[in-house]
Amino acid sequence: MMTRTSRSAAPSSPALAPHGGPRGGGGDALIRIDLSTNVNPYGAPPSVLDAARAADLCAYPDPTSHDARSAAAMAWQRPIGEIAFGAGVSELLPALFSALLGRNNTVVLASPLYGEYARAAQLVGARTLSVARRRTVPHISRLFAAVRRFAPKLLVVAAPGNPLGEAWTRDDLAELADAAHARQCLLVIDQSYDAFLDAPLGDPALPGHPAVMHFRSLTKDFAIAGLRAAYAIGPAAIIRRLEERRAPWPASAPAQAAAEATFASAAQAYVTRTTRALREDVADFADALRAAGVSARKTDVHWVLCTLSTAQANRLAHDAGIRVRTLDDHLLAGLARIVVPRRDQQAMIARAVASALDTNSHDADTA
């Protein structure tokens, strides 16, 4: 089977599966270190925080987010009409899907993928086809076949992928975009983790392509997850349709101010420096985990994949106050994604993960 297919008889309300935040991991454990969300562990640039704090909280925010969009347009050398700004990708993508999809449409998802894409499609009654990776067949070949066979309205790819952390080349994305365009399909490229690659594709990856919509989250590399801030970059006609489906004042004043500040040289330099440090630390952290007896492998971005069950992850949260992201909901049971922590925390976290794996030790402690 090439795909997993789901279809709703009527628009449904799929369950939310949030993670991160004080209650996002479930349970009542006191979390000291959250490595489940992929947020830059070095925190936000000071200048970005200053801009957010200086925003006027007494007045309504600009409903068009003009200044944040203008700053992006100048940095990316694209017309402002090709850019929308909102409260995270999770706010922008339902607007896009509701603008473009109906109950008789199909969405192809390059899986595993951030779960909100499937949920947004389900909410408008569209059919989702998940095209999973296979060791023997290139993922792009399977996606080409799905586009030809199922004539989807949308094709969604994360570049780099989440949760597996695999990079895409610009040439492969361009081929997918051209194939989609030839079949009147829109390619959606989620670039939320592009900045963490050794060789980022840049924003947007395929500027001006008539069949591509890019999503660019600021909450990961700039570490402003609490503000919720992201851009959509694509054809102006589709941006206009997206805007028609959004609530008034979709982005807060602090989020707009912070987004504008991310394009200043000081903020850019800060993120370049900290993401470079994280990339350099991926191999060392994977080695530290393996030395502690934990099966781990590095990815193309700033997290490692470990053999860790949900029960063991819960034990890690309860005993050590460390949260990681298990991948059961991606049909990757027994696997967890762990963001590379700051260098001063790596050895301690490796020991804590190893302790969570040690069932005999845990049983003895609780006897």
**pLDDT per residue over 83-130, tens digit each?**
999 999 999 999 999 999 999 899 999 999 988 999 999 999 999 999
Other residues' Cβ atoms within 10 Å of the Cβ of residue 284: 13
Query: Which residue numbers in the chain have pLDDT < 70?
Result: 1-29, 135-137, 359-367
Position 333 scores a pLDDT of 85
Position 133 scores a pLDDT of 80
Position 331 scores a pLDDT of 74
Query: Distance between terminal CA atoms of the chain?
Result: 47
Structural contact between residues 337 and 305, judged by C-beta atoms closer than 8 angstroms: yes
| Inter-CA distances, 365 with 74, 273, 325, Å | 59, 42, 25
Q: Distance between CA atoms of 30 and 324, rounded to whole angstroms?
A: 13
Closest to 139 in 3D by CA, of 122, 152, 156, 126: 156
Position 28 scores a pLDDT of 60
Closest to 36 in 3D by CA, of 353, 355, 357: 353
Position 299 scores a pLDDT of 94
* DSSP assigned state of 213: E
What ranges make up the beta strands (E) of the chain? Answer: 3-6, 33-34, 83-86, 106-110, 127-131, 154-158, 186-190, 212-217, 230-233, 296-298, 303-307, 322-323, 325-326, 335-339
By residue count, the chain amounts to 367
Structural contact between residues 232 and 242, judged by C-beta atoms closer than 8 angstroms: yes
The string over 180-189, giving b where at least 16 C-beta atoms fall within 10 Å of a residue's C-beta and e elsewhere, is beeeebbbbb
* DSSP assigned state of 24: T
Strands 106-110 and 127-131: parallel
Q: Distance between CA atoms of 95 and 112, rounded to whole angstroms?
A: 22
Say whether the peptide bond before residue 204 is cis (omega within 30 degrees of 0): yes
Position 231 scores a pLDDT of 98
Amino acid at 274: T
The pTM of this model reads 0.90
Dig out the tokens for 251 from the structure: 């982005």
